[in-house]
Amino acid sequence: MAERIPVIMNPAARSTKAARVVARIEALNPAPEMIFTQYAGHATEIAEKLAREGRELVVAAGGDGTVNEVLQGLCRVNATRSDIATHTALGTLPAGTMNVFAYEIGFPSHRDLANPWRVMTSGARRDIDLWMANDHYFIQLAGMGMDAEIVKATTWQMKKRYGPLAYAIAAVQVLRSQLPTVTIKAPGRADSHGCLALIGNGRNYGGRFPLFREATLTDGKLDVVIVRESFNAWHGLQVLRGALLDGYQSSEDLEYFQLDEFTVEASPEAALQLDGELCGSSPVRFRAAPFRLRVAA
User: pLDDT tens digits for 2-17?
Assistant: 689 999 998 875 555 6
**Facing residues of 154 across strands?**
none
Q: What percent of the chain has pLDDT over 70?
A: 85
User: pLDDT tens digits for 122-139?
Assistant: 999 999 999 999 999 999
**CA nearest neighbour of 109 among 96, 118, 119, 121:** 96
Mean pLDDT is lowest, of 36-45, 83-92, 159-168, 252-261, for 159-168
Task: Give Cα separations from 55 to 71, 89, 219 (angstroms).
Answer: 14, 8, 28
Mean pLDDT is lowest, of 31-40, 141-150, 226-235, for 226-235
Q: Is the dihedral of CA 22, 157, 73, 124 positive or negative?
A: positive
The mean pLDDT value of the chain amounts to: 87
Q: Is the dihedral of CA 229, 270, 41, 293 positive or negative?
A: positive
| Residue 142 pLDDT greater than 70, yes or no | yes
**CA nearest neighbour of 158 among 145, 147, 168, 146:** 168
Report pLDDT for 263: 98
Q: Which residue has the higher pLDDT, 13 or 52?
A: 52
Kindly report whether the global pTM for this prediction surpasses the value 0.85: yes
Report pLDDT for 171: 67
> Mean of the pLDDT values across residues 246-260?
74
Domains defined along the chain, listed by start: 6-130 (3.40.50.10330), 137-289 (2.60.200.40)
Please tell me the distance from the alpha carbon of residue 31 to that of residue 285, in angstroms, as a whole number. Answer: 41
- Residue 154 per-residue DSSP state: -
Q: Which residue has the higher pLDDT, 188 or 240?
A: 188
- Beta-carbon neighbour count of residue 23 at 10 Å? 9
Across the beta sheet with 192-194, what order do the strands follow?
136-138, 131-133, 284-288, 261-267, 181-185, 192-194
Q: How confident is the model at residue 260 (pLDDT cuts 50, 70, 90)?
A: very high
Across the beta sheet with 277-281, what order do the strands follow?
254-259, 222-227, 196-200, 141-145, 271-274, 277-281
Q: How confident is the model at residue 111 (pLDDT cuts 50, 70, 90)?
A: confident
Cβ neighbours of residue 78 closer than 8 Å, sequence gap 6 or more: 51, 84, 87, 88, 291, 293
Please tell me the distance from the alpha carbon of residue 158 to that of residue 140, in angstroms, as a whole number. Answer: 23
Report pLDDT for 1: 46
**CA nearest neighbour of 8 among 174, 55, 278:** 55
**CA nearest neighbour of 147 among 247, 227, 46:** 227
Q: Which residue has the higher pLDDT, 111 or 232?
A: 111
Q: How confident is the model at residue 153 (pLDDT cuts 50, 70, 90)?
A: confident
φ/ψ of residue 169, rounded to 5: -65, -45
| Residue 224 pLDDT greater than 50, yes or no | yes
> Mean of the pLDDT values across residues 235-250?
53
Please tell me the distance from the alpha carbon of residue 277 to that of residue 143, in angstroms, as a whole number. Answer: 10
User: pLDDT tens digits for 54-64?
Assistant: 999 999 999 88
